[in-house]
A and B are shown apart, each in its own frame.
Chain A
């Protein structure tokens, strides 16, 4: 599981990014001139009060939205110039999503949920099976692959979601409040797992969280206040 990029080059660059939403005739600024770099193996937590623009920034990094001005470059590719179809393809190759509510497809088994992103690749059925089994083994749920989401606990569902996020070996894992819907024990297990993905598999992770304990698991934390990046600890620790 590696992106194969030289660790000295940033894999994500956010350059002077601003984002505004329009409501009726009004323009609502959400992000204001944000600059950020992520390197391979980074584990960044985004914190800030509600409405500060954390999720908006995460969506921009994940190619779900486009900036009003500025650039988001991932592996040197400017996401702002990609067509919607190209962006969808790009997401399938480069981004793994971990959602607060897991967002598993209820009618598909754990195996089928994890397999879903692989159906967009040219892998054979046999190869897909191998990848899915490996991903489920990494999250410790190989024995639950035939279970439907309703047959799993919240923590197990989130682990299946993580398996789905890593199964394509994406460049970037984005997590939006991944422990927000879990009890403390399950939340701890999920954070352990994400930390292991970062340390053992060098996965680059960006996590939005309100929880200081969760943020503490990241290698670095940035704060957003009213759309402005207000503080980045000097103890930046990434595998440069």
Chain B
């Protein structure tokens, strides 16, 4: 095998073309990694939201919380069903909730969008993954107080600590920020069930019952009871299935991201190919010499492919480094199931960064293949005559 230092030093000698190609590849990798990290972010937000034992009960025929409507009295009876898990205090993990959407302005004059406001009782917190207050305090029922996530506060007007969110001309004061493992709960504003239903002038209405089964068998029994017991006649789905439906938002982002990334990748591969063609053309005599010395076609092919891969990998590493500051950067996308916005953070996980490097290696292989084949196809004697 031809020593790798031969390739590395050649890249260094042609440092200007190497630099240009590296920067081009880095930009493409950065764009692709950022897209992938956002997809991973939304994917995480929706996947982490679903606990395998948790159920969401809605009005029969409803597929989402916004279009659901339940009598609060009936909804509260759900907690008496057998098979519901209980918290340390022995209370059933069953939360009657009311969800409404409000059209609110984004910060920095970026238009308006729908946000989800959820009214719930304290037990609802136990049904969200690792719920914790990170700043301020939890809300007190009856005082028209609200809590939300820091990402929401930074994206929307009137959601910072101390600011007031208007719901049907009633001001709800934001008193705290919470986290829930990056789940979809972090895309919501929470308030007390009674406070929000009163503000909405629908005091007897709920939209959802969230509950946790004791085990998988109990989960099945609960679904049967909620769907078939004449007292309830609800639609009951597992949280995992519910959020799987909502993943369609991430699929759209995924498709758009992949299409854009594909165009960029093909473009960058051609740039790498161009650089490598120039390298092969200027090193014909070296190639002839190496062949004369006894390096076979395969060694030449591997050497030039390797050079192309090194070239693009440098771009890959640079691209990944460039996007590191975007880790945790939060944004939102439409959740078409609920006509609202899901807020999520870019997740620059090792998997996403590895995908970026892999992409760069792929670009190197793809871009280097034709030049390497040209190098291999050279006639030794003709190549040796090149000046």
Contacts and interface: CB of A to CB of B under 8 A. Distances in A.
Interface of A: 59, 62, 64-65, 84-85, 88-93, 97, 99, 101, 103, 105-108, 112, 116-117, 119-120, 164
B293 A91 contact: yes
Contacts of B6: 105, 107-108
A200 B158 CA distance: 94
B385 to A, nearest CB: 9
A108 B294 contact: no
Q: Is the interface of B mostly helix, strand, loop or mixed?
A: helix
Contact of A99 (B10, B289, B290, B295): B289
A49 B124 CA distance: 98
Contact of B293 (A59, A84, A108, A117): A117
Interface string B4-27: 011001101100000000000000
Interface of B: 1-3, 5-6, 9-10, 12-13, 285-286, 288-298, 380-381, 384, 387
Nearest to A83: B296
A105 B295 CA distance: 14
B295 A88 contact: yes
Contacts of A116: 3, 290, 293
B297 A91 contact: no
A164 B290 CA distance: 12
A120 B295 contact: yes
A91 B346 CA distance: 56
Most A CB contacts (10 A, CB to CB) among B291, B292, B295 go to: B292
Contacts of B295: 88, 92, 120
A112 B387 CA distance: 22
A48 B377 CA distance: 31
Nearest to A121: B294
A107 B9 contact: yes
Contacts of B292: 62, 64, 91, 97
Nearest to B289: A103
Given A88-B294, A117-B294, A120-B295, A103 B285 contact: yes
Contacts of A93: 294
Contact of A92 (B2, B285, B294, B387): B294
Contacts of A120: 293-295
A128 B256 CA distance: 55
Contacts of B13: 106-107
Contacts of A164: 293
Contacts of B298: 85
Most A CB contacts (10 A, CB to CB) among B6, B293, B295 go to: B293
A195 B368 CA distance: 44
Contacts of A62: 292
Contact of B384 (A91, A92, A103): A103
A164 B294 CA distance: 12
Contact of B296 (A85, A105, A107, A112): A85
B285 A108 contact: no
